[in-house]
């Protein structure tokens, strides 16, 4: 007899607490459909179950000619401005990236029954499924819960998936295996009373090494680096604990909260940090609601003191030290006995794959192999087949990575040729893991509501081009990393790439052109130890040539053994910009219409049907002249920073904001003059108070940068403060561009114009009985 629903089928094998959570969520869906829940409350509720919005979920889409309403059948919403029937994204948490073949099977099955049959590995070791309907989510969650996977707190203002170095436990340079600590802390913080009242999310990471990329601790809200000390002759474990790191629009390096935190203190101190963040963190302005802003505002010393005080007040919880029993019992069991590779016949292509996708473990006879997933994607069928490959060679020793791949750990070396052939047979034998062809990209305009340019489209194109010549590339180029974000929010981690890009747009005449800002010299090593700086924006269609120009210059100019980051520093930003300058111009539309569309998307890159009007033309022309001064000033600020002229760098950063504000003010008030006070006053009155300047998502965030630096100029800044001024100036300039575009569009839309004609197409003749 067939069970009537998945709940009934899976009840015996599902943990009661997980099942209960899903039942509650299903009930909330029903209430929302009846209009009995506040839409904002429901939105946060579903986010906390990993049920996320997706592009076009406001029911509007531009088809290349006009914006259209997507007339979904149901009229209610699942959050402010979010249509109920619009497909969304489901994020699935995989703590520390660890998963078993049985879990892989179920992940595959829900992907083909509720999504598009594609599983996407994220930069936080999660999985994401796209185009999911909200009413399918409870059954999907039940099926996942039946194998111990939860989506609880995968999104929302909570502690997100805890990440961990995918090599933890099988690494040559780690202090110890941090895996069981990551797992224990993830369990402890999920659903904890002290982690439910944040203004925004917290991201946690664990590393076992300081110098390697490992868990990328320095870009996390809370991060742990495992250390050991000899105390009374006994090697003792502890953690250097960091807080306040993050990428986003303004990247911050994490600060040391406490050195060598004892194992039994990582939970209570994380709890104390959560309490301080919940109490003092920003709640109203989401754009300043991460821990990094709180730490920056209070200063690390004050933050440390507050955490210490909070820690002292915490009621005792026996889980704080109780988990250590499990930690010390934690062992990964190799699936097969160790054996060397010697003498095994190597199939064609094996040696290249071995060089890029295989790492020796400290445990003799074992290696880690990386299954290189293009753009982090694999099909349901591949996932099932990969689960079988895992069962054959490594058992449960499988993890996702923040570079959007999957690793098999504890592979017996002698199995490598057969494993390689098995991976090839299922289309997952790609070489080049961790090299220039292994490009990280966020979803961008493919599915993300905030995407400005097509990060995945660009990544696809770069991968095709780079793969075609990869064999002939110098090793120094092959080993570079490219990371791409579709907007300034850094989900593609462009700040920590050798060559990073984030999407933006520019105008040419009255048309928009997709662009990418080039960010050079970010550091992946040392736990994402430093961030790259933007050197200029180029049209999206010029990016492949820009990559060639940069890599060729590096190859020609580098000193023996000089690393890319060091070469970028030596080159200097001025020269770096010169490298990309030839690619910055936008050709006329009539000459190269392809520049006015994004990669992989033939629609004209525009949000509205813009006509050509003199009024707008003049405005654009004047604005273009003015804004170029701001961009130039921001660039000079970067040069000053590079030359160690810290004070000058900060001053020029602020000047750049004033120039940009002036450019915008002059579109309405030509005689604003040069007095910064007058410019700021006019800007506030005309653009900020009226909310014209407000970004649809960031609201007035970027305008407040101007007011902050105008009101309280940074005095005697240190390098980081000056750098931040410059970063904020660049974002303010970007926002000014965006504002001007919006205003121009609204002017155009107020002028009656004939609708743009669609190109004529041949009528399609269908057989009798088929409707056209």
Partner 1 sequence: MTSPQRIQIKLYTKNNSALSKDVLIDRFHSWIQHDLLDEIPIDVADYSHVVDGPGILLITHEADYAFDEVGGAGLRYVRKKEMPGSLEFAITQGFLQVVKAARLLEQDTAGTVSFDLARVEITILDRRLYPNSSATTDSVQPVVTGLFSTIFKTKQVECARVSEDARFPFALTIRAPHTLEIDEISPASVSEAVLVPSL
Binding site for partner 1 (CB under 8 A): 2-3, 5-6, 9, 55-56, 61, 63-65, 70-73, 85-87, 105, 108-109, 112-113, 116-118, 130-131, 133, 374-375, 377-379, 381-382, 384, 426-428, 446, 456-457, 460, 463, 600-603, 758, 761-762, 764-772
List the Cα angle 50/51/55 in 5-degree steps: 125
Q: Where are the alpha helices (DSSP H) in 581-718?
A: 614-642, 646-665, 676-683, 701-711
Is residue 253 within 8 Å of 221, Cβ to Cβ?
no
Q: Which is nearer to partner 1, 161 or 401 (CB)?
A: 401
- Using the minimum distance from each CB to partner 1, give the nearer residue, 73 or 644: 73
- State the nearest-atom distance from the C-beta of 292 to partner 1, in Å: 34
Nearby residues of 716 by Cβ (< 8 Å), 6 or more positions away: 647
**104 vs 209 by CB, closer to partner 1:** 104
Residues 6+ apart with CB under 8 A from 544: 461, 462, 465
Nearest CB to partner 1, comparing residues 56 and 669: 56
User: Token pair for residue 413?
Assistant: 């070396």
Instruction: Give the C-alpha separation, 245 to 425, whole Å.
Output: 41
Residue 66 DSSP symbol: S
Q: Do residues 532 and 484 make contact, with C-beta atoms less than 8 angstroms apart?
A: no
The smaller minimum CB distance to partner 1, of residues 99 and 534, is found at 99
Closest CB 110 distance from partner 1, rounded Å: 10
Question: Which H or E run includes 120?
Answer: strand 118-121
- Please, what is the minimum distance in Å from the beta carbon of residue 519 to partner 1? 23
Greatest CA span in the chain, whole angstroms? 90
CB of 599 to partner 1, least distance (A): 9
In angstroms, the CA 492 to CA 119 distance is: 17
Place of tokens 């707190």: 153
Calculate the CA 624 to chain-centre distance.
31
Return the bridge partners of 92, or none.
127
Nearest approach in angstroms of CB 374 to partner 1 is 4
CA–CA distance from 390 to each of 110, 355, 395, 398, 415 (Å)? Answer: 19, 21, 5, 7, 12
In the numeric block, the tokens 């943990």 are attached to: 15
CB 348 to partner 1: min, Å: 17
Instruction: Give the residue with the Cβ less far from partner 1, 56 or 330.
Output: 56
In angstroms, what is the minimal distance from the CB of 538 to partner 1?
A: 22
Strand 163-164 versus strand 127-132 pairing type: unpaired
Nearer to partner 1, 35 or 759 (CB): 759
CA distances in angstroms from 265 to 237, 255, 302, 326, listed in the order given: 12, 18, 20, 16
Strands 482-485 and 440-441: parallel
Q: Considering beta carbons, is residue 118 or 547 the nearer one to partner 1?
A: 118
Closest distance to partner 1 from the beta carbon of 319 (Å): 37
CA–CA separation, 189 vs 196, rounded Å?
A: 10
Closest CA to 48 of 90, 85, 80: 90
The residue with tokens 């402890």 is 188
For the bound state, the minimum distance from the C-beta of residue 766 to partner 1, rounded and expressed in Å, comes to 6
Of the pair 14, 274, the CB lying nearest partner 1 is at 14
Nearer to partner 1, 286 or 392 (CB): 392
Token pair belonging to 711: 């009101």
The residue among 377 and 562 lying less far from partner 1, judged by its C-beta, is 377
Minimum CB distance to partner 1 smaller for 118 or for 241? 118
Q: Indicate the pairing of strand 597-598 with strand 77-79.
A: unpaired
* 771 Cβ contact list (under 8 Å, min separation 6): none
**Which residue number, 391 or 692, has a Cβ lying nearer to partner 1?**
391
Q: How far is the CB of 98 from partner 1 (least distance, A)?
A: 21
C-alpha distances (whole Å) from 333 to each of 48, 225, 366, 410, 411 are 34, 24, 12, 8, 11
Enter the tokens of residue 218: 């320095």
Instruction: Report the residue number, 6 or 589, with the smaller CB distance to partner 1.
Output: 6
**515 closest CA partner among 540, 535, 494:** 540
CB of 419 to partner 1, least distance (A): 17
Which is nearer to partner 1, 337 or 768 (by Cβ)?
768
With beta carbons less than 8 A apart as the criterion, state whether 7 and 140 touch.
Answer: no
User: CB of 557: closest distance to partner 1 in angstroms?
Assistant: 32
The H or E element spanning position 83 is strand 82-83
User: How far does the chain reach from its first CA to its final CA, in angstroms?
Assistant: 43
Whole-number minimum distance, CB 683 to partner 1, in Å?
Answer: 37
CB of 70 to partner 1, least distance (A): 6
Minimum Å gap between C-beta 601 and partner 1 is: 7
Say whether 671 sits in a helix, a strand or coil.
Answer: coil
Q: How distant is the alpha carbon of residue 645 from its chain centre? A: 32
3-state secondary structure 495-562: HHCCEEEEEEEEEECCEEEEEEEEEECCECHHHHCECCEEEEEEEHHHHHHHHHHHHHHHHHHCCCCC
Q: Cβ of residue 438: shortest distance to partner 1, in angstroms?
A: 12
Query: Residue 372 or 399: which CB sits closer to partner 1?
Result: 372
Specify the residue, 104 or 576, whose C-beta has the smaller distance to partner 1: 104
- Of 153, 142, 194, give the one whose Cα is nearest residue 8: 142
The CB-of-734 to partner 1 minimum distance in angstroms stands at 26
């Amino acid at each position: 007899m067939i069970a009537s629903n998945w709940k009934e089928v899976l009840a015996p094998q599902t943990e009661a607490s997980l099942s209960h959570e899903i039942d509650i969520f299903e009930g909330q869906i029903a209430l929302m459909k009846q209009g009995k829940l506040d839409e904002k409350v429901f939105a946060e509720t579903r986010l906390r179950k990993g049920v996320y919005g997706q592009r076009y979920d406001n029911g509007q889409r531009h088809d290349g000619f006009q914006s259209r309403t997507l007339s979904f059948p149901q009229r209610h919403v699942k959050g402010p401005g979010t249509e109920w029937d619009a497909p969304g994204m489901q994020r699935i948490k995989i703590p520390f990236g660890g998963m078993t073949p049985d879990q892989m099977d179920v992940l595959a099955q829900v992907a083909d029954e509720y999504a598009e049959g594609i599983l996407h590995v994220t930069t936080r070791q999660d999985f994401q499924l796209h185009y999911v309907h909200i009413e399918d989510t409870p059954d999907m969650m039940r099926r996942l819960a039946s194998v111990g996977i939860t989506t609880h707190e995968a999104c929302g203002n909570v502690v997100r998936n805890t990440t961990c170095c995918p090599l933890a436990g099988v690494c040559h340079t780690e202090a110890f295996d941090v895996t069981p600590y990551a797992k224990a802390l993830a369990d402890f913080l999920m659903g904890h009373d002290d982690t439910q009242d944040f203004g925004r999310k917290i991201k946690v990471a664990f590393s076992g090494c300081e110098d390697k990329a490992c868990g990328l601790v320095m870009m996390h809200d809370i991060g742990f680096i495992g250390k050991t000390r000899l105390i009374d002759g006994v090697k003792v474990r502890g953690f250097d604990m960091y807080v306040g790191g993050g990428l986003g629009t303004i990247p911050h390096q994490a600060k040391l909260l406490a050195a060598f935190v004892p194992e039994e203190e990582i939970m209570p101190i994380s709890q104390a940090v959560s309490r301080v963040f919940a109490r003092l963190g920003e709640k109203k302005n989401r754009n300043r609601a991460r821990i990094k802003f709180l730490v920056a505002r209070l200063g690390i010393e004050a933050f440390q003191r507050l955490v210490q005080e909070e820690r002292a007040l915490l009621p005792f919880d026996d889980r704080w030290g109780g988990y250590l029993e499990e930690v010390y019992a934690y062992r990964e069991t190799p699936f097969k006995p160790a054996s060397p590779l010697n003498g095994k016949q190597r199939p064609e292509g094996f040696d290249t794959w071995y060089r890029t996708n295989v790492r020796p473990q400290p445990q003799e006879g074992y290696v880690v192999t990386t299954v290189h997933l293009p753009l982090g994607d694999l099909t349901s069928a591949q996932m099932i087949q990969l689960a079988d490959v895992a069962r054959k060679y490594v058992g449960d020793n499988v993890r996702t990575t923040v570079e959007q791949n999957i690793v098999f750990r504890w592979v017996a070396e002698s199995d490598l040729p057969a494993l390689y052939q098995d991976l090839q047979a299922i289309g997952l034998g790609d070489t080049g893991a961790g090299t220039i062809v292994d490009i990280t990209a966020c979803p961008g305009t493919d599915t993300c509501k905030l995407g400005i340019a097509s990060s995945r489209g660009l990544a696809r194109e770069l991968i095709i081009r780079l793969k075609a010549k990869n064999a002939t590339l110098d090793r120094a180029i092959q080993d570079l990393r490219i990371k791409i974000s579709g907007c300034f929010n850094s989900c593609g981690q462009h700040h920590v790439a050798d060559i990073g890009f984030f999407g933006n747009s520019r105008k040419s005449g009255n048309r928009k052109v997709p662009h990418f800002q080039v960010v050079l010299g970010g550091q992946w090593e040392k736990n994402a130890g430093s961030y790259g700086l933007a050197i200029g924006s180029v049209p999206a269609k010029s990016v492949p040539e820009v990559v060639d120009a940069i890599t060729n210059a590096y190859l020609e100019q580098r000193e023996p053994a000089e690393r890319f980051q060091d070469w970028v520093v030596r080159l200097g930003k001025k020269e770096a910009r010169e490298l990309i300058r030839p690619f910055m111009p936008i050709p006329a539309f009539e000459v190269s219409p392809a520049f006015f569309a994004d990669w992989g998307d033939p629609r004209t890159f525009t949000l509205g049907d813009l006509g050509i009007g003199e009024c707008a033309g003049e405005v654009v022309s004047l604005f273009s002249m003015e804004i170029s001064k701001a961009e130039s000033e921001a660039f000079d600020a970067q040069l000053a920073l590079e030359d160690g002229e810290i004070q000058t760098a900060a001053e020029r950063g602020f000047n750049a904001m004033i120039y940009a504000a002036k450019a915008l003010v002059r579109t309405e008030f030509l005689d604003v003059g040069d007095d910064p006070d007058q410019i700021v006053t006019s800007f506030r009155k005309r653009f900020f108070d009226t909310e014209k300047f407000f970004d649809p998502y960031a609201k007035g965030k970027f305008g407040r940068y101007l007011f902050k630096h105008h009101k309280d100029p940074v005095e005697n800044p240190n390098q980081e403060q000056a750098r931040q001024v410059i970063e904020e100036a660049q974002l303010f300039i970007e926002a000014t561009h965006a504002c001007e575009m919006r205003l121009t569009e609204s002017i155009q839309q107020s002028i009656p114009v004939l609708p743009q004609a669609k190109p004529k197409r041949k009528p399609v003749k269908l057989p009798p009985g088929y409707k056209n």
